[in-house]
Amino acid sequence: MPYHHRELSITADPLELAAALVESPLGAGAHVVYERDGCWSVALGTLAEVEATPTTVVSRVPDGTESAGHPSVTRSTTWTDSPLPTVSAALAGLPVPEWRAYGWAGFELAYVHAGMPELVADQRLLHLVVPRTEVRLTAGHATIRSATTDELEAVTNVLTGHQPTVRKAPEPLDVTGADPEGYRAAVRAAVDDIRSRRLQKVILSRVLPVPHDVDLVGTYLAGRRANTPTRSFLLGVGGLHAAGFSPEIVVSVGSDRRVVTQPLAGTRALEADGRDAARRADLLSDAKEIFEHAISVKVAYDEMLPLCTPDSVVVREFMDVKERGSVQHLASAVTGRLADRVDPWDAFAALFPAVTASGVPKPAAYQVIHQREPQPRGLYSGAVVTADHTGAIDAALVLRTLFRRGDRTWLQAGAGIVEQSVPEREFEETCEKLRSVARHLVPAV
């Protein structure tokens, strides 16, 4: 089923246009906005989809017609060891020329990779959609492709007739509530686990409920204007909704098979109050933060080595400081070139989840996270993913994100726990991170 294409000049802000497309009738079903390097990709509707559960991979593909109905051919395959090879095969077999998929992978996908299926509840692990309509927006230009000419015209009308939407002003949410003593107790227990040599590092998170209705699209607009993410996203797939400002990528594989991961670990507040330079200097000299960062980079480096051609794996920009909204982080990049025998999804499997959102070693960290956190993480610290027919994959780490499922809305943030961790400081670090989103919550009309 080929797409219909159109190139279009635009004058409005690409961020505003991406939001307008999601709020149009075309965005009523599945939708994903994914920002990367000054380009907003907008996926609307479902032409095909692939889901992974704890036992099967289910794919739904079009029947070859241009009808506006749902995909009609369903295939279900039981997987063993990992669902990702089956996901890769299902995508490769799609009857859609030059397909591109958008969606998410939940944190608990890591448990099955580690041979710990007993930690996985009855939940989706991954959900990818190939959209009926895809729009790529950059300054002054839009590229549109759609399954039908009617949808192509509908997108054109939204882009050329856009008028800014009037929204309420953001109302900040207090981030210091939500059982602070329970979080501090979990940190103390994790420090004891580390001192007993059960592991070296673990990231523990806490959930902050949002007690009122939120304009998710408005929050995405306000939060994106205030943040400096490496990726941003606005997602509604399979009943799960999220608006996020990712500080780092889990993995990016180009069509040229270049692969990069970007560990960020070590945090100080970024408040524009005249003290940020001092906080930066403190961050760069703090032994606890440097150790936390260095072991994360080491794990990422070691995970890359088996994937890549000899001598291609290098660490770049070691311990740069990156500003991400309300915080500044120590950041490094680990790069390489995939060996010919390695499928890009193998790289995703090896590097997922990000070491900076799980721990060292990862399997021990999974056990501690499962034990010390009160609920499954789901999308939090998983990835929003794009993948295409060339083998390219880009996966943003899901942090600094507003989540919604059903009538429940929440924020979530964690801190890296090592032997030197102080519970009060780790709790404050979660507050610093939560403010990246909590300051920009736009009330629903």
Catalytic residues: 248
Of the candidates 119, 87, 16, which has an alpha carbon nearest to the alpha carbon of residue 358?
119
Q: Report how far Cα 341 is from the mean position of its chain's Cα atoms.
A: 27
- One-letter amino acid at 299 equals V
Q: Which helix (H) or strand (E) holds 265?
A: strand 264-269
What is the C-alpha separation between 29 and 43, in angstroms, rounded? Answer: 10
Query: What share of residues in the chain are helix, strand, coil (percent, to 5)?
Result: 30, 35, 35
Q: Other CB atoms closer than 10 Å to residue 184's CB: what's the count?
A: 16
Query: What DSSP designation does 443 have?
Result: B
HEC string of 270-312? Answer: CCCCCCHHHHHHHHHHCHHHHHHHHHHHHHHHHHHHHHECCCC
Q: Sort strands 327-337 and 359-360 into parallel, antiparallel or unpaired.
A: unpaired
Query: What DSSP designation does 61 have?
Result: E
State the sign of the Cα–Cα–Cα–Cα dihedral 250, 110, 202, 219.
Answer: positive
Give one DSSP letter per residue of 100-125, joined into a string: EEEEEE-TTHHHHHTT-GGG--S---
Of the candidates 49, 153, 40, which has an alpha carbon nearest to the alpha carbon of residue 96?
49
